[in-house]
């Protein structure tokens, strides 16, 4: 993730809705709007952090756009905007969240924030694992007194502790079932890629 504003791609065929979402989000994010699935794929690149994807559109469906995002291996989070209330199936399909129409302003901004937070969680978990693995390598190759004398080792332990705390704070330590499933699904996705 870059230090600049996160990029949100809004894919919505109803112009007035697309405009509304744009106005709600533009203060905090860099927002791009696409009027259908094909335009979405044109505007989709590595810079996109979050996609808001309407389920029912003329041309490519939300599902098809999602499949293309996955096929291209673009690391963004995708919220589906739908008229019906779906179940966990939606999360399993690969969507990271869903919004039921009509979408309220608070819902929209909270969902985008949540998805960015999940992304931060996944990145943090990856760093945490790397540190734990490094520490384990030292533990497996050095004896206790060598470990105690090693500055590298004590530094690693400190960073592991910091990451552990940060992970506990991100997503409230995963208090919510959707976050839990999304975090686990992310592990399987990484494995498949």
Partner 1 sequence: MSNETEHVYDLSGVLGGEALSGVRPGTSILLSGPSMTGKDALLFEFLAHGVGRGESGIILTTEGEGEDTLREIESYTPDADPSLLAAIDCRARSGRETEHLDSGAVVYRVVDPSDLTGIGINITTHLDRIRSSNATACRMGLTSLSTMVRYSDRETVFKFCHVLLQRLESAGFIGLCTLNSEAHDDQTVQVLKQAFDANIEFREHDGDRQVRVLGIGSQPSEWQTLG
Q: Interface with partner 1 by CB under 8 A: which residues?
A: 88, 92, 125, 128-129, 132-133, 135-137, 139-140, 160, 167-168, 172-175, 177, 180-181, 183-185, 187-188, 190-191
Q: What are phi and psi of 54, to 5 degrees?
A: -70, 135
Tally: H helices and E strands in the chain:
8, 5
- Which tokens go with 129? 């694992």
User: At closest approach, how far in Å is the CB of 174 from partner 1?
Assistant: 5
User: At closest approach, how far in Å is the CB of 95 from partner 1?
Assistant: 13
User: At closest approach, how far in Å is the CB of 157 from partner 1?
Assistant: 10
- Which tokens go with 126? 């990856």
- Residue closer to partner 1 by CB (options 27, 140) is 140
- Residue closer to partner 1 by CB (options 5, 92) is 92
- Residue closer to partner 1 by CB (options 101, 164) is 164
Quote the CA–CA distance of 40 and 154 in Å, as a whole number.
48
Q: What are phi and psi of 51, to 5 degrees?
A: -115, 130
- Residue closer to partner 1 by CB (options 106, 175) is 175
User: At closest approach, how far in Å is the CB of 25 from partner 1?
Assistant: 29
- Residue closer to partner 1 by CB (options 74, 183) is 183
User: At closest approach, how far in Å is the CB of 164 from partner 1?
Assistant: 9
Q: Other CB atoms closer than 10 Å to residue 105's CB: what's the count?
A: 12
CA 139 to chain CA mean position, Å: 33
Q: Which of 54, 48, 43, 44 is nearest to 14 (CA)?
A: 54
């Amino acid at each position: 993730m870059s230090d600049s504003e996160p990029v949100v791609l809004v894919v919505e065929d109803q112009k007035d809705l697309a405009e509304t979402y744009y106005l709600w989000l533009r203060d905090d994010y860099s927002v791009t709007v696409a009027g259908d699935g094909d335009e979405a794929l044109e505007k989709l690149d590595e810079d996109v952090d979050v996609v808001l994807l309407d389920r029912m559109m003329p041309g490519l469906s939300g599902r098809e756009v999602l499949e293309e995002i996955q096929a291209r291996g673009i690391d963004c989070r995708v919220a589906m905007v739908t008229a019906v209330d779906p179940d966990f199936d939606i999360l399993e399909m690969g969507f990271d969240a869903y919004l039921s129409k009509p979408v309220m302003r608070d819902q929209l901004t909270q969902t985008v924030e949540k998805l960015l937070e999940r992304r931060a969680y996944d990145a943090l978990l990856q760093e945490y694992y790397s540190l734990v693995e490094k520490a384990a390598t030292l533990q497996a190759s050095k004896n206790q007194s060598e470990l105690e004398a090693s500055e590298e080792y004590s530094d690693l332990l400190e960073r592991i502790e910091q990451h552990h705390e940060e992970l506990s704070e991100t997503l409230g330590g995963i208090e919510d079932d959707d976050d839990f499933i999304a975090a686990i699904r992310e592990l399987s996705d990484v494995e498949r890629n």
